[in-house]
Structure 1
């Protein structure tokens, strides 16, 4: 149900009235009296304004998709239409779009979680017809206040609906977001609002044929007209692509330390995890480079400032996760470097497309690592809804007969809060639950887990991962490879990448940079904050606790050698924990000595205790014994597991993780006697509690509780690795 214009049709005649009017609007928007439409831009405007069509535009970043919807918006407004509504996925993208609109004389406003205090002003401006463009996030469509108070009026008055980054609609898109699926329902309601059709525009730079077909199907719902599809060539003439394979994370960091200042202009260094981004930024800043990190942990206010600093070239680079992705607009971005590969060529193309949008040359380099695949697996698993958890949520809501908040639901399903919130979004989009005042409630509609669909999505993502690995090792043109992955029929060798023209990037490493990178990789010691309060609703899980954990039963601040996602020790510890249970390597003990030496505790520990372990008893036991031997401390043995031991797997929420270990860890009698006799023997101080891996921290909290009850004067957790 689509009409495709892969090659744009001929421009309208010079005397065409709409073409002339549209060109004048374009020139006013750009403040350029000689501005002309690029191939395809007017055809898209014409489809929206004259034809009142539904259109999908797939064009490379920098082509000018925003010009299409700004010109169309002003033309429709001149014809008496209401405001354009743009559904946009990121606050960063909204900020850029509002700024671009203001420069072009378009009155644009947003309604998002970031400006909730301004909603009354926005509503007043909409009521006075003083808004040309309203930008909202897809999540706003499920906000009860917006859905009930604002959306009906918008549907009645909307002049144009724009779905930006439309690949997010599709299960097959590299950045699918459940709330984007609400747009199908929104589009389905448009024809019933009034007799005159409301044109719809979807835009993206990253869509292969499967995504295009999916988006077209959703755009065409309840419409007799075919969807107008405009696809242009996706290859970027300004990008010079390359892949440099290096031995280990410290070598990749050393390359950045050596060569970052040689890269053109300012740019983005992408990392796969938050800790890798923060560690890299810290190492580069310590070496004198003007860089800053940008991750999911960065405050929204700080994000806006960092984006502006990069745009104004006040920093050489922003070291970022995918949090800095879609929509960030800096036309002269000079480079993009990846420390680790994204999980698909499509996602990679989307990120590198930030560079060289308004310049003739930009450098793009991928530094892949063997740990990439493990990270892909972690994020893929975390993003897929779980059938058992979904039914548990629905059962809890049905039995309650009233809205339940997310913290209350956490006592009904063993899922982390982020996973639970994603699951609720999926169920809401499927119509099984809805968000209302006071939380979430069941709608009463039947719901079934679509196992086949999720299996197809999982297989598609595995196929993308294989393609990403192929990209790293291809002997053909890299730009052509990416374009073919996006089903671009014009894909052809670029003549610039390292397979077409030979390596263009330096490979040597400065010895001082090597040393700094090794020191970063060898750095050990991550604080472990103790649990200080219990999750709410524990009585519903049979655990009689609430509120603050009594200080006399808490652990003290502990230490992990490293996070599993760290650049240096994280890689080594992942390999150790993945291997069969075996005694701890001597090098790990030496690293632990460094952690102990730099700890700075108030009281020196008087003994060492091993955590009870079913999976790695030799590793944990030998680690504890080794620490005791080196520190010349008594080793009191291992704690015991009772009632079968902990039952919750990794990834569950706090309530279920605590319930799974409550009263299942015990202090053996000889250890109780040793703890009781310590003060009489003149030994005053905490014990070291040694374990292999910490995630939720509830095992450590429960072990600390029973140790303190048994007479320990304090508990200092020491673990090999921290999850994350």
Structure 2
């Protein structure tokens, strides 16, 4: 044991670059449990404690004793990049197989075969890639030295970052040779998550090493402001006062992009970082933040687990995450190697609506699952690709992919080359399980609201939310030590923020290709949409997720909101969109899409736009039969089939020569506008300029 500690300490000091470094409480205990006892171990420790040091030190010790490489399951590309950099500092030879480096896979296979790799990093999804799973993983399992599951809370249904593919790790653990140690690590786990993860690792035989989660460097605060404009005004007023460089989290992609644009226009060096950001741009933004070349990254949760900048000076939230667990995960980016870091939450009135949207969009339903299983069963073992399956079931691609992963983990389907097949195993929708998950999410949301409103210590509240029995007042937060942040908003900043939020106009890109499988649904089209039948690029007033007009539009289009003519403010905003459009040729007339749910709204907007432009309003397109039959939320092929043939062609010669401005209420898939524009083009319109009041997404 003494020899193990001496060797481990030598490796640790190389890793951190300090000759006097020593282990934190629990670190060597975890290393020894893995290396000397070869046990399965769950480590729950605060961010910055040094969980990566445990698995890198343990890896080198095991390799010195003749063990094979460590397989490290890591959930995010940004995290992988940081883990590889940290490994190199410790003299650990680490490589990754992921979607960004296929050009390196052959070389990595050679290195693995020649035993020149200490740690192989893979995503949980990679474990189910047919080629990797069937051809590469078996040989790795034969010689694996250790399995590490990082950010292990993703295993749990209760975890805020639940990833279905993490749950297949139980199957991997079941087939690795006896005596191979397994390590799971996380900083964000309450008792339920700990129990769930331990069960995946092997139940009662798992050694759990859990430490206090308090972060002495963090100074927590909550500032409640009346609206988005005031919150952005505060940020414009005080961003420069925040220490060092940091992260500003938002709940949506649109909010991140809008906030970054506003701050850049005010002269601040910031970048947006979201799930839609190009991979190369993400890497450059991470580098710029670590080098303090930007004041902040304005980020969604895409920048979260494992991002390592030890001197990050602040984390600020424009809008609250949906649980204290998620919040603790994100604020843990700050103050990892500094004595002080500021953490401030600016909650928004729209937070709960956004939480509800994301919660309901991710939960599988029995109807959808059974539909997928029925279609796969019809193929009698022949694989169906995801696009082909999407054409048969009315489920959007992202939701379908998540559902397939859940069914795969449950053993009902299997991913193979060419797509998905049914296993034929009986499958029952676990309604009780999903009801429990939904109920827990609601409870976590309430805990987050309680965190915002508590007058007790905020760090203690977060610790108790994570079932940390060592929770005690921190003495630093705004409730313990008094408000440490200014609340005033400069008049000029408030004005600039209001002007930015009042900005209108979002591009509506024209559809260029018919969806795969439309012909199976009775729509006789395929391939590219003929240029002579397409609409031109259009405009929407705003997205429903925008910080500014998004709030108004979410209320306007919320279920149960009664139909009514548009307000003068809304009409004025729509007219501004047209004034700023910059079209090549001005429209000569206005028409509208008929609406069963909001006829007064769309009629009033179309009339007003026609009046403002001194254009004739030709009325709404006539419907054939009962008109469109679909509901929002389906996939492209079904959405197209629901509107195909729903509109009557205007009589020949009745359309004026020139572009038609076509007005709709809410654009989602854009198939309604695409089909209506095609009908107008076939009836003689030289061009169609689509305009929507709102745009989903």
TM-score normalized by the length of structure 2: 0.98
Q: 1:484-539: CA deviations, max 9, x gaps?
A: 00000011111111111221111111222112111111100111011121011211
Q: 2:161 — aligned with what? A: 175
Q: 1:341 — aligned with what? A: 320
Structure 1 residue corresponding to 2:683, chosen from 682, 707, 710: 710
- 3-state SS of paired residue (1:641): coil
1:424 aligns with 2:404: yes
1:27 aligns with 2:9: no
- 3-state SS of paired residue (1:620): helix
- 3-state SS of paired residue (2:316): strand
Q: 1:471 — aligned with what? A: 451
1:570 aligns with 2:566: no
Contact 1:658 1:699 in 2 (8 A): yes
Contact 1:527 1:558 in 2 (8 A): yes
1:100 aligns with 2:80: no
Q: 1:647, CA displacement in angstroms?
A: 2.7
1:291 aligns with 2:270: yes
1:270 aligns with 2:256: no
Q: 1:27-48: CA deviations, max 9, x gaps?
A: 2333322221111111111111
- 3-state SS of paired residue (1:499): helix
1:393 aligns with 2:393: no
Distance 1:583 1:32 in 2: 69
- 3-state SS of paired residue (1:131): coil
Distance 1:637 1:33 in 2: 80
Structure 1 residue corresponding to 2:231, chosen from 243, 252, 260: 252
Q: 1:215 — aligned with what? A: 197
Instruction: Report 1:318-357 matches (<5 A).
Output: 318-357=297-336
Q: 1:565, CA displacement in angstroms?
A: 0.9
Q: 1:8 — aligned with what? A: none
Q: 1:368 — aligned with what? A: 347
Structure 2 residue corresponding to 1:676, chosen from 647, 650, 653: 653
Q: 1:617-662: CA deviations, max 9, x gaps?
A: 1111111111112222111112233343323222211111101111
Q: 1:390-446: CA deviations, max 9, x gaps?
A: 222222222123111111111111111111111111111111111111111112222
Q: 1:561-596: CA deviations, max 9, x gaps?
A: 111111111111212222211110000111111111
Distance 1:632 1:431 in 2: 63
1:445 aligns with 2:425: yes
Contact 1:84 1:133 in 2 (8 A): yes
Contact 2:591 2:661 in 1 (8 A): yes
Structure 2 residue corresponding to 1:550, chosen from 530, 533, 544: 530
Contact 2:11 2:90 in 1 (8 A): no
Q: 2:664 — aligned with what? A: 691
Q: 1:678, CA displacement in angstroms?
A: 4.8
Structure 2 residue corresponding to 1:531, chosen from 470, 492, 511: 511
Distance 2:397 2:21 in 1: 50
Q: 1:128 — aligned with what? A: 114
Structure 1 residue corresponding to 2:462, chosen from 467, 476, 482: 482
- 3-state SS of paired residue (1:637): strand
Distance 1:305 1:606 in 2: 46
Q: Extract unaligned runs of 5+ from structure 1.
A: 1-11
Instruction: Report 1:300-319 matches (<5 A).
Output: 300-319=279-298
Q: 1:679-711: CA deviations, max 9, x gaps?
A: 4xxxx3112111111010001111112222233
Q: 1:284-332: CA deviations, max 9, x gaps?
A: 0111101000111111121111111100101000001100000100000
Contact 2:12 2:90 in 1 (8 A): no
Distance 2:614 2:668 in 1: 29
Larger mean CA deviation between 623-632 and 340-349 belongs to 623-632
Distance 2:409 2:139 in 1: 22
Distance 1:527 1:92 in 2: 30
- 3-state SS of paired residue (2:271): strand
Structure 2 residue corresponding to 1:502, chosen from 482, 486, 489: 482
Q: 1:147-192: CA deviations, max 9, x gaps?
A: 11211111111111110000000001111000001101101112xx
1:721 aligns with 2:681: no
Contact 1:534 1:548 in 2 (8 A): yes
Larger mean CA deviation between 639-648 and 107-116 belongs to 639-648
Q: 1:85 — aligned with what? A: 71
Q: Aligned pair count?
A: 694
Q: 1:200, CA displacement in angstroms?
A: 0.5
- 3-state SS of paired residue (1:599): coil
Q: 1:131, CA displacement in angstroms?
A: 1.0
Q: 2:620 — aligned with what? A: 638
Contact 2:655 2:684 in 1 (8 A): no
Q: 1:4 — aligned with what? A: none
1:411 aligns with 2:394: no
Structure 2 residue corresponding to 1:611, chosen from 575, 593, 618: 593
Distance 2:241 2:182 in 1: 45
Contact 1:692 1:719 in 2 (8 A): yes
Larger mean CA deviation between 684-693 and 83-92 belongs to 684-693
Q: 1:72, CA displacement in angstroms?
A: 0.9
1:581 aligns with 2:563: yes
Distance 1:511 1:179 in 2: 50
Contact 2:14 2:89 in 1 (8 A): no
1:377 aligns with 2:356: yes
Q: 1:462 — aligned with what? A: 442
Contact 1:612 1:665 in 2 (8 A): no
1:628 aligns with 2:614: no
Distance 2:307 2:367 in 1: 38
- 3-state SS of paired residue (1:556): coil
Contact 2:594 2:622 in 1 (8 A): yes
Distance 2:407 2:579 in 1: 50
Q: 1:222-268: CA deviations, max 9, x gaps?
A: xxx72100110101111111111111111111111111111000000
Q: Extract unaligned runs of 5+ from structure 2.
A: none
- 3-state SS of paired residue (1:113): coil
Distance 1:26 1:601 in 2: 63
Q: 1:28-82: CA deviations, max 9, x gaps?
A: 3333222211111111111111111011000000001111111111111111111
- 3-state SS of paired residue (2:321): coil
Structure 2 residue corresponding to 1:73, chosen from 59, 62, 65: 59
Q: How much is the aligned-residue C-alpha RMSD, in angstroms?
A: 1.3
Q: 2:26 — aligned with what? A: 40
Q: 1:6 — aligned with what? A: none
1:141 aligns with 2:127: yes
Structure 2 residue corresponding to 1:204, chosen from 172, 186, 189: 186
